[in-house]
Amino acid sequence: MVRQNRFKPRNEDTFFPLKNTFQTKGKLYCLEEPWVMGVINCTPDSFYKSSRVSGNNREVLEKAVQMAKQGARIIDIGGYSSRPNADYISEEEELNRVVSVIEIIRHELPEVLISVDTFRHQVAKEAVSAGADLVNDISGGELDGEMIETVGTLGVPYICMHMRGNPNTMQHLTEYEDIETEIMGYFSKKLEDCKKAGIKDVILDLGFGFAKTMEQNYRLVRSLDYFSTLPCLLLAGISRKSMVYKLLECSPEEALNGTTALNMALLMEGAQLLRVHDVKEAIETIKIYKQLYI
């Protein structure tokens, strides 16, 4: 089957994306090609050790600067690990981890967009005040009932991910009658909630690895273009996850090659943003994808 490409020029007889723009804080951005989001985890326990940084702002800034030079358009800052059985941290501790980091990156890298990876509305609010441009919520508002309404007041895009339960229970919630249909229903309801809250731009993340088995994850990769019927950008985050390293029988540290291969497949299926730990390799993947398909 020939896949439809969301980035081919209008003058070709092919599908063109209904949605390839977003606004944040009054500024419009257009994705004429896929973008890369670089991940910085201000946590001591994220699943991939090399993505962790200490509370040292200089170390965080150096990593952000490197990602920006390599081509990342968005830097994603998280202060609460979402890996299974991660330690609980208080809202105060999460704020301590992310707010000062966002402030220094905003000051030193004014042209780079910053997203805050949080499921707490108060963290989202203070992060945006500190300079964040997007809110990235793994729970789609399920873990904090005030999240969607709060984002609606902030004037920034909302990255809405599909997940069942929470990081400690999600691996036991993987039974679906029809996974594509159920996730589509979930997103349709979330888009209604976001519209009512005044959120103008929603970016969808299928939540690879969250309440899905390995087989379900790969099924969703193959059917990613099914979700392109929704008027939203599609973000894919599979970087060094267990769906890669368990299949290849290696560790997260050895999963870069598999991640790169899978990112190419996701681009071919319609992903417009890649959330990654390794920006240089993702940018190279996009260059090859563009040479072949755009």
Q: Cα–Cα distance between 34 and 22 in angstroms, integer?
A: 13
> What pLDDT does residue 87 have?
77
Which of 69, 275, 287, 290 does the annotation list as catalytic?
275
> What pLDDT does residue 106 have?
97
> What pLDDT does residue 15 have?
40
Can 275 be counted among the known catalytic residues?
yes
> What pLDDT does residue 167 have?
86
Which H/E stretch holds residue 236?
strand 233-236
Instruction: Copy the structure tokens of residue 18.
Output: 């209904």
Which of 195, 241, 287, 290 does the annotation list as catalytic?
241
Can 190 be counted among the known catalytic residues?
no
Question: What are the extents of the domains in the chain?
Answer: 33-293
Reported pTM: 0.91
Pairing of strands 27-30, 21-24: antiparallel
Mean pLDDT by 10 residues, the chain (294 residues): 48 52 96 96 64 69 96 96 79 94 96 98 98 98 97 98 92 95 98 98 97 98 94 97 97 97 98 98 98 92
* Look-up of token digits 């993340």: 205
Q: Is residue 211 within 8 Å of 243, Cβ to Cβ?
A: no
Q: Cα–Cα distance between 257 and 207 in angstroms, integer?
A: 21
> What pLDDT does residue 91 have?
96
> What pLDDT does residue 212 have?
97
Domain 33-293 is in which class?
Answer: alpha beta
> What pLDDT does residue 17 have?
46
> What pLDDT does residue 46 have?
53
